[in-house]
Chains A and B, each alone.
Chain A
Amino acid sequence: MNGGPGDDPLSGAPHDPRGGRFDPLARILRWARWVVVVVALGAVGLGVAGLDNPAGVLAIAMVVVLVGVPMMRVGWFARRWTVRGDPRFAMVAGAVLLLPPTGLLISVLTG
């Protein structure tokens, strides 16, 4: 180890420019996990108490988060790969983003 700028002062490990690159995304995913737990807990509690309408509203919110978070994650990578000059995989991510709304549209149209 040469002790260059940015190296870990305790272990002497070399600075890793790629370390922590997903931190913002990981933070959002952890928050979303807790949101889903709290909302699901509320929906179960209200449902058991026989309050079906509010339970239904919370269940919809839960499904919105469960569907929205993976899509947000794909969008995060589509943007990242576009900015960083990886157009082939940015297009793959963009195509994946189009699939769920397409499925919803088809299911609504076909009843």
Chain B
Amino acid sequence: MTPAVWLLVLLGALTSFGGAVGGIGGATLLVPVLLLTGMDIIDAAPLGLLSVAATSLAAAGRQLDAGLVHHRIGLTVELAASSFAIAGALLSTSVPAPWLARALGLGALTGAVVTLSRRGNRNPSNQTFRDDSPGEWPGTLGGTYHFGDASVPYHAQHVPLGLAVAAVAGAISGMAGVGGGFLKTPAMSEVMHVPVKVAAATSTFTMGITAAAGLLVFAGQGRIDATSGAAVVLGAMGGATIGSRVQTGLPATRARTVTGVLLILVAAVVIGRSL
């Protein structure tokens, strides 16, 4: 059952707003809501990925200007995630829908626990870097970002473990039609010790690539409905544009709380429905 067009526009807007603020992408919220309307996850997945792609594009310009996206970290993580996203999308038609939903719920719950279990800021500001442009240091997985008057240097750690989590995120993303940001953002911020705001913005960038890979597979399988897809994209562009503005000015600790709470809601809905 497909909801009315106006409802898809509204759902796309609300979920992408929340997804952009929390750096987890709109689809992590949209797909569970579509399941609640009675839609099957096989039909909801392409709409989810369209919402992810729209969210990523809507936030891109602002996050690029703010120097929040670390493209080297993003593409390194994405190489692992997209490989497994393709495998997941190809397998999605042969895995039972309840198992897909449970995998999505478990992933969201893991992301929530990891995100909410930490207190305080891991990366303190440093006046040495005050006059540096925010952004990445060439040839490395390090950089600085500005928040207010402070400059915060950072460098990615535990990269192999972060890539392993990204691969799991990619597989779930390809199967369930979500961007995987609910695992990629905690993987970058909690495993690789990248500041949460950089992790959220970088994750939003990489989700666009994951979505592109998955959408091509769904297009090849003839699973994209024109009107429903356009409705979700239309709402998602509006919601994510406003959400990315809110996210850029949000303190890191509050951004983590928003991410964690949203993930708990997602896990509760998805796991509850699959039981």
Contacts and interface: CB of A to CB of B under 8 A. Distances in A.
B5 interface: yes
Contact of B86 (A58, A66, A103): A103
Nearest to B134: A18
B180 interface: no
A102 B53 CA distance: 19
A2 interface: no
Could you tell me the dominant secondary structure of chain A's interface residues? helix
Interface residues on A, range: 35 or more
Contact of A63 (B76, B133, B219, B241): B219
Interface string B129-157: 00101010011000000000000000000
Nearest to A53: B226
Interface in A77-94: 77, 84, 86, 88-89, 92-93
Contacts, number: 171
Nearest to A37: B237
Interface residues of B, number: 52
B64 interface: yes
B230 interface: yes
Contacts of A93: 75
Contacts of B45: none
A45 B192 CA distance: 45
The residue in A44, A59, A77 that gathers the most chain B C-beta atoms within 10 A of its C-beta is: A44
A16 B131 CA distance: 8
Contact of B227 (A48, A77, A99): A48
A41 to B, nearest CB: 6
A106 B218 CA distance: 11
A43 B83 CA distance: 31
Contacts of A14: 131
A99 B81 CA distance: 10
A99 B83 contact: yes
Given A47-B231, A95-B79, A107-B217, 9 more contacts: A29-B64, A36-B57, A40-B231, A92-B79, A99-B86, A100-B212, A103-B214, A107-B89, A107-B216
Interface of A: 13-14, 16, 18-19, 21-22, 25-26, 29-30, 32-33, 36-37, 39-41, 43-44, 47-48, 52, 55-56, 58-60, 62-63, 66-71, 73-74, 77, 84, 86, 88-89, 92-93, 95-96, 99-104, 106-108, 110
